[in-house]
């Protein structure tokens, strides 16, 4: 319902306008009327109409002043000005206030109704644009959450390139120079995990000066990867001073909101994105060293911890195991996993829950890694904490074998076929604006793995392969003297003839014109 207020110092004029609107516009409601500018200001505050038909020339506060005052309080209210004076100065004054509709007295019914319809259409269009913008923001945020999750998993297994860090920085408009990992453990079994994760995500986004990626695919211990330009060059003491207020506030606010203090492990900052997985294992090891009866519920990684063995060695062993899984080497993976289980049982002999948690985290990473490579794998269902150590070993060994054999089969049977399908797709669609992501989607592989296949099997990058296909097609087209070089450029997928010429010359050793001159000497 369109809420309308009519303002005019002539009662007859007000009644005429009200009658026109009520008869012609069913979805309109006259919510108020006023006889002067002062009353209009007060009634606008009380009723908050959508549209005001405002007379310009009124005693006391005139229509122009009333519009200024009302827009100060309610900028979204629309105005249709009504005046017996057809002068530019009056129109100029109201246009300066953003008023677009201006009617002359005596007002004709059709003109009044059309003006209201135009205002209504403008309001509907703005509402639609606002809703479209909100929907786009929701989709973007959803995509951003997914990207954060995927990127965090990639960081865990060191599957990112330096370019990824640059692209992420461009997306968030931040110049990242280094990063570090934090692992936060939910120490209460009574608190709902999803509610706590949502709170943690909102908290870090609101209170951290850095950009933080949260990986939600863990049970009680959530990795946070912090990317920043604030701490480059700081020593360890300065880093602690920088991060401690955030850590202490997180623990305090969590206790206020959920009634428990989380345990927090903090890894060291590193300049290279490839070292962030090391920072994660440092944070995880620091977290594991927190005793349940300790007053302090956070710990930093330290050289003392490193000298005792744990994080770096554990990280390297898990990384080696993941590499064996990736390569589809069943024998190697099972051998490494056997040692992994033994060390796990020795470390957690008195605490089976820790073994369950560690295995759950490992298999979440492993299954997500396989999915990221383009190999379909069901989502890992965490192990029951009531399992015995023997059941845990049997189940996990069986699952590992299933995963590695699936990778092995996929590599042997499908990888070659997928690459050939990608090659055929490129050769068929070379004239289109192809991207690695588009081709990967067509052959149901991740962009990362398709790129890797091109390098392993073809010895060149995806872009180089696509460029070679286009240039070979360009050579074929140039055999026809009726086709200009510019047309050839467009036919093989390039939009800029100058760029096409540069690429052609780089690969062929001659410009397109020189190449054609050799083919068709005059």
Give the start-to-end residue ranges of the domains of the chain: 2-128, 157-301, 415-519
Q: Which two tokens stand for residue 47?
A: 């009723």
What does the alpha-carbon distance between residue 302 and residue 278 come to, in Å, rounded to a whole number?
13
Residue 183: which residues within 8 A CB-CB, separation 6 or more?
221, 222, 223, 224, 264, 265, 267, 280, 283, 284, 286, 287
Label the pairing between strands 78-83 and 51-55. Answer: parallel
CATH level 2 (architecture), domain 2-128? 3-Layer(aba) Sandwich (3.40)
Torsion of CA 379, 384, 388, 392, to 10 degrees: 10
- Of the candidates 186, 207, 205, the one whose C-alpha atom is nearest the C-alpha of residue 258 is 186
If phi > 0 it is left, if psi is from -120 to 50 it is alpha, else beta; for residue 60 that is left
**What are phi and psi for residue 214, nearest 5 degrees?**
-110, 130
Confidence (pLDDT) at 48? 92
Confidence (pLDDT) at 349? 47
**What pTM value is reported for the model?**
0.45
Order of all β-strands in the sheet with 211-214? 211-214, 221-228, 178-185, 263-266, 298-300
DSSP string, 26-94: TTEEEEEEESSHHHHHHHHHHH--SEEEEES--SSS-HHHHHHHHHHH-TT-EEEEEES---HHHHHHH
- Residue numbers in the chain where pLDDT is lower than 70: 85-97, 137, 139-176, 214-219, 232-234, 273-274, 292-294, 303-316, 345-352, 372-374, 382, 385, 412-415, 448, 520-522
Superfamily of domain 415-519: Homeodomain-like (1.10.10.60)
- The CATH class of the 157-301 domain is alpha beta
Q: Is the peptide bond before 376 cis (omega within 30 degrees of 0)?
A: no
- Of the candidates 289, 302, 297, the one whose C-alpha atom is nearest the C-alpha of residue 263 is 297
User: Which 8-state DSSP code applies to residue 274?
Assistant: G
Q: Residue holding tokens 């060994």?
A: 397
Confidence (pLDDT) at 334? 86
């Amino acid at each position: 319902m369109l809420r309308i207020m009519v303002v005019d110092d002539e009662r007859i004029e007000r009644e005429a306008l009200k009658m026109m609107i009520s008869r012609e516009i069913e979805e309109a409601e006259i919510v108020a009327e006023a006889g002067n500018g002062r009353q209009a200001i007060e009634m606008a505050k009380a009723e908050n109409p959508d549209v005001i038909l405002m007379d310009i020339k009124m005693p006391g506060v005139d229509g122009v002043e009333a519009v200024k005052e009302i827009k100060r309080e309610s900028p979204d209210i629309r105005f249709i000005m009504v005046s017996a004076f057809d002068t530019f100065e009056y129109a100029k004054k109201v246009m300066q206030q953003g008023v677009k509709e201006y009617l002359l007295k005596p007002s004709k019914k059709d003109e009044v109704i059309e003006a209201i319809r135009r205002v209504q259409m403008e309001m509907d269009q703005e509402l639609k644009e606002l809703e479209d913008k909100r929907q786009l923001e929701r989709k973007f945020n959803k995509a951003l959450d997914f990207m954060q999750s995927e990127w965090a998993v990639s960081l865990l297994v060191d599957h990112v390139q330096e370019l990824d860090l640059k692209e992420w920085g461009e997306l968030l408009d931040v110049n990242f120079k280094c990063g570090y990992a934090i692992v936060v453990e939910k120490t209460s079994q009574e608190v709902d995990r999803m509610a706590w994760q949502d709170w943690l995500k909102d908290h870090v986004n609101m209170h951290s000066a850095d950009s933080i990626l949260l990986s939600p695919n863990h049970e009680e211990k959530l990795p946070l990867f912090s990317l920043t330009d604030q701490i480059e060059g700081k020593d360890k003491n300065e880093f602690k001073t920088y991060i401690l207020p955030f850590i202490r506030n997180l623990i305090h606010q969590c206790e206020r909101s959920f009634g428990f203090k989380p345990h927090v492990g903090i890894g060291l900052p590193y300049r290279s994105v490839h070292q962030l997985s090391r920072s994660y294992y440092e944070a995880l090891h620091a977290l594991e060293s927190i005793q349940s009866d300790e007053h302090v519920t956070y710990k930093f990684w330290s050289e003392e911890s490193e000298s005792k063995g744990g994080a770096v060695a554990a990280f390297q062993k898990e990384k080696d195991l993941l590499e064996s899984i990736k390569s589809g080497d069943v024998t190697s993976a099972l051998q490494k996993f056997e040692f992994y289980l033994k060390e796990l049982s020795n470390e957690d002999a008195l605490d089976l829950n820790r073994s369950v948690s560690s295995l759950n985290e490992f298999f979440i990473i492993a299954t997500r890694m396989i999915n990221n490579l383009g190999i379909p794998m069901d989502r890992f269902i965490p192990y029951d904490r009531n399992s015995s150590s023997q059941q845990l070993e049997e189940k996990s060994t069986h699952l590992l074998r299933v995963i590695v054999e699936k990778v092995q089969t996929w590599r042997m049977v499908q990888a070659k076929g997928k690459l050939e399908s990608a090659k055929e797709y490129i050769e068929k669609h070379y004239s289109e604006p192809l991207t690695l992501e588009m081709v990967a989607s067509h052959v149901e592989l991740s962009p990362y793995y398709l790129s890797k296949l091109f390098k392993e099997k073809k010895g060149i990058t995806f872009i180089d392969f696509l460029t070679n296909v286009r240039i070979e097609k360009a050579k074929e087209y140039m055999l026809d003297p009726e086709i200009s070089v510019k047309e050839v450029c467009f036919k093989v997928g390039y939009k800029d003839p100058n760029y096409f010429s540069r690429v052609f010359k780089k690969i062929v050793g001659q410009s397109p014109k020189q190449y054609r001159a050799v083919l068709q000497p005059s």
